[in-house]
Structures are given as C-alpha cells and as structure tokens.
Structure 1
Amino acid sequence: MIEFLLALLVFLAAHSIPARPAVRSRFVAALGERPYLVLYSLLSIGLLAWLISAAVRAPVTPLWPTSLFTYYLALALMLPANWLLIGGLLTPNPVSISFRRRSFDPTRPGLVAVTRHPVLWGFALWALLHTIANGDLVSLIMFGGLLLFSLAGMRLLDRRRRRQLGEGEWRRLRESGRRWSAAQLLTTFGGGTLFYFAALHLHPLWGPDVGALLF
C-alpha cells in the first residue's frame, strides 16, 4: 500500500508541476517542443504503468459487489473512451492536451468540435469505468483520484488558455466549424479502435482477462 500511495503521489506531481507555464516553458526552451512532448508522454506512460503495477500488488479491500454487468459496461464504453484518447492526442488542438497544436485548422477541427478536451474526457471515462468495475478501496483511490484530476484539469486549462489567447481568439476557436478531414476520421476511429483491441489483448498483464468476455 505504501508503494501504491507513493506511485500515485509521484504520478500526480508529474502531471501538476510541469503543467505550470513557467516550468513547461523552461523544458521546451531546453529540449524543443516536440522532443519535450515525446519525453513527457513516455514519462507519463511509465509512471502510469508503475502506478497500475503497484495497485495490482496492493491489499484488496472490497467496497461494493461487482458483476458481469459492470465488466460489460466497461467493455462497451472503453471503445469511445479510446476514440477520445487516441483521437485527442493525434488531432491538432490549441487549447488542450495534444501531440499537435500549431497545425490546427478551425474549418476542420475534427474531434475538437465535439469537446475541447478529448484526451481528458477519455481519461476521465476510463477512470470512472474502472472505478465501477473494480469496486475496491485501492481502485477507488487511484481511479477516483484520476477522475477528479482529469475534471479539474479541464477547468484549469480553460482558464489558462482563455487568458493566454485573449477573449477574441478564444471565442473564434470555440465557434469553429464541424468538419472532419479523412485523416482525422482515420486516426480517431481507426487508431482508437486498434488501441482498444490491443489493450484488451494486453489486459491480463495488469488485470483480469476482460477480453475473454467478448471472444
């Protein structure tokens, strides 16, 4: 349990401290924006893997009964969650988390027309579904904490980007079109679906074989 709480603390700190504009600007100035995003993404994945590994090995304290329904609910809704996660990371987004910001086309915003924060909504949905499906204390602390962290992050990013961009540019971006490019459709739905089935295949490494419920 001590390792789990330490991993959770480090994970949250790694996603709070670098988010500060002054800290992020120093890293970007030293590394360049794209290398910084790649390294930060690798760090995030590594810390998340450590957090999940520590959670799996922590003592289990059941809080509510789970059932096949909660597993099937997670299986069904994790597909759109992956669309949000993968599509959000690969779609240019000037106001939220994305691997691409500067090539945003307001006439073809793609997934950004659905929500300004697709990655955070996908992460929040992932956390909520796993909280419900697991039903134990460690899962409630970990996934519930990540859910609140994602929801708070949306409000924080909105305030920060609105201040940085100015009211006129903020409104222009919010009133962008609804069109999708073929590449955006492919990366969001194709890439998200591929990632979904890859996660199902690898799920037994860190949790139950939920993919067996489908096949």
Structure 2
Amino acid sequence: MTGTLDALFAAVVAFVGGHFLLGWPSIRTLLIEQLGANRFRAVFSLAAIVALAWTIMAYGDAPYMPVWEPPHWTRWIPNIVMPLACILLVCGYNPFSPTAMMNEEAFEEDPHLVRGILTVTRHPVMWGIGLWGLAHLTIRGDAASMMLFGGMAVLAFGGMMKIDAKKRAEFGAKWAPFELSTSVLPFRAILDGRTKLDWRGIGWLRVGGGLLLWALLHGAHPWIAGVSAVPV
C-alpha cells in the first residue's frame, strides 16, 4: 500500500479520481437516490479522508527519484504565493458560498447571493489548493512530489469546471445569475463590470486569519515537510 512510487500514484489517483467520479452528475444523482443526501455526503467525506490519509502515508514512504533540479531562485515562489493561497483558503470557507459541497440549501434560499471573496472568484478554496500545488511543483523536482502536487493542482483546477457543470445541471437557469456575476479567474468579473469588490464582506479578520495560517505553516514546515520554508 505504501513504499513505492506505484503505490503513491495509485493513492493520488484514488484521491483525485474519487472526487471526480463521485461528483459526476449521473453517478452523484444515482447515489443520492439510493443513499439520501446526508448519507451520500458522509460516504463522500469518508472516502475522501481515507484516500487523503493513504496519499499522505504513500508520499512519506515513497522513494526519492530526481527528475529535474529546480534552480535556487524558485524557492522564493512558495513564499510569495502561499500567503495568498492561505488567504483564499480562509476566506473561501464561507457559509454563504453556493459552490461549497454542502451549501445547496443556501443557494436555494438566495440564488443571487454574491458577497465577500465570491466577488473575487467563485472558487476561492480551489484556487488556494491549486496555487499551493503549483507553487510547490516549482521547487520539488522529484517524481513523488510531482505526483502529489501535480495531482492536487489537477484536482483544484479541474474541480472548478466540475463544480460549475454540476451546479448548472442541478439548478439550471437559477444558476445563471450567480455564474454571470462571478468568475473563475480572480478579479475577472470585477474588471468586466459584472460585480464590485466586496471588501467589507471579505474583512480584515479573514485576511488576518489567512496570514496567520500561512505563518503557522511556514514556521512548522520543518516538522511538517522535513525542510525549512526559508528561501536561503
């Protein structure tokens, strides 16, 4: 189950592929009909947790196989990108976000709800995960890291398209106003004049929470990943 690159590849495929498979509209609808919405969410969450745990263990036990040697200057990239990624993660855990897995009811109550970080992008959490994956791909040139961080980037950026397709299928025309007043690409809807930046909805507290998360991860990096995050 662990100790080889094949095991890590299988774990990443199970984690990333499982999200796409269980989120596929026809499969999701069938499982909800059979299990009910709450049981489906429980099964989905349990499967994701098990696959993620397997991925973490497989990555930790995977042999080191260099593929390329990143230049030294790339060590600055995560230190520049990760504060933004953490802010997006913290701001993205918003109880009013209709793109979240368990917020279908909130969207039914107010389909025109666009506030906070959703005025920047309707997929802030996915952007946070995707930026984390891409930033670490620039500094880790071994096969195991490319599998892990590449898989997370695929999950994040592919997940945005999957979520949008799922919501269109679920809500039909009701989804259109929200989609038209938001954007996948950060700040695109603002630049197009389709929405206005809701800084009050984002708030300094959430931004500060994101920076605090980054500081904690940065300081704990030697214990989490075995190497310092300081670009020296």
TM-score (norm 2): 0.73
Aligned pair in 2 of structure 1 residues 124, 209: CA closer, same or farther (>3 Å)? same
Aligned pair in 2 of structure 1 residues 205, 72: CA closer, same or farther (>3 Å)? same
* 1:93 and 2:100 matched: no
* 1:153 and 2:156 matched: no
Does structure 1 retain, via aligned residues, the 8 Å contact 2:116–2:201? Answer: no
Aligned pair in 2 of structure 1 residues 140, 51: CA closer, same or farther (>3 Å)? same
* 1:54 and 2:58 matched: yes
Q: Decide which moves more: 51-60 or 165-174.
A: 165-174
* 1:22 and 2:25 matched: no
Q: How many residues align?
A: 210
Aligned pair in 2 of structure 1 residues 141, 91: CA closer, same or farther (>3 Å)? same
Does structure 2 retain, via aligned residues, the 8 Å contact 1:61–1:136? Answer: yes
CA shift, 1:185, in A, is 1.9
Aligned-partner SS, 1:59: coil
What CA deviation, in whole Å up to 9, does each residue of 1:36-72 have, x standing for no partner?
47x8567645643542332232111222222442222
2:132 & 2:34 partners in 1: Cα distance?
A: 29
Where does the alignment leave 5 or more consecutive residues of structure 2 unmatched?
183-194
Does structure 2 retain, via aligned residues, the 8 Å contact 1:84–1:122? Answer: yes
CA shift, 1:93, in A, is 1.6
TM-score (norm 1): 0.77
The one-letter amino acid paired with 1:199 is L
Aligned pair in 2 of structure 1 residues 185, 28: CA closer, same or farther (>3 Å)? farther
Q: Decide which moves more: 124-133 or 7-16.
A: 7-16
Aligned pair in 2 of structure 1 residues 93, 30: CA closer, same or farther (>3 Å)? closer
What CA deviation, in whole Å up to 9, does each residue of 1:155-175 have, x standing for no partner?
222222123222354134532
* 1:175 and 2:193 matched: no
**Which one of 55, 61, 84 corresponds to residue 88 of structure 2?**
84
Aligned pair in 2 of structure 1 residues 76, 142: CA closer, same or farther (>3 Å)? same
CA shift, 1:73, in A, is 1.0
Does structure 1 retain, via aligned residues, the 8 Å contact 2:113–2:178? Answer: no
* 1:203 and 2:200 matched: no
> 1:193 — aligned with what?
211
Does structure 2 retain, via aligned residues, the 8 Å contact 1:90–1:100? Answer: no
Does structure 1 retain, via aligned residues, the 8 Å contact 2:9–2:147? Answer: no
Overall identity of the aligned pairs, in % = 26
1:169 & 1:31 partners in 2: Cα distance?
A: 22
Aligned pair in 2 of structure 1 residues 54, 13: CA closer, same or farther (>3 Å)? same
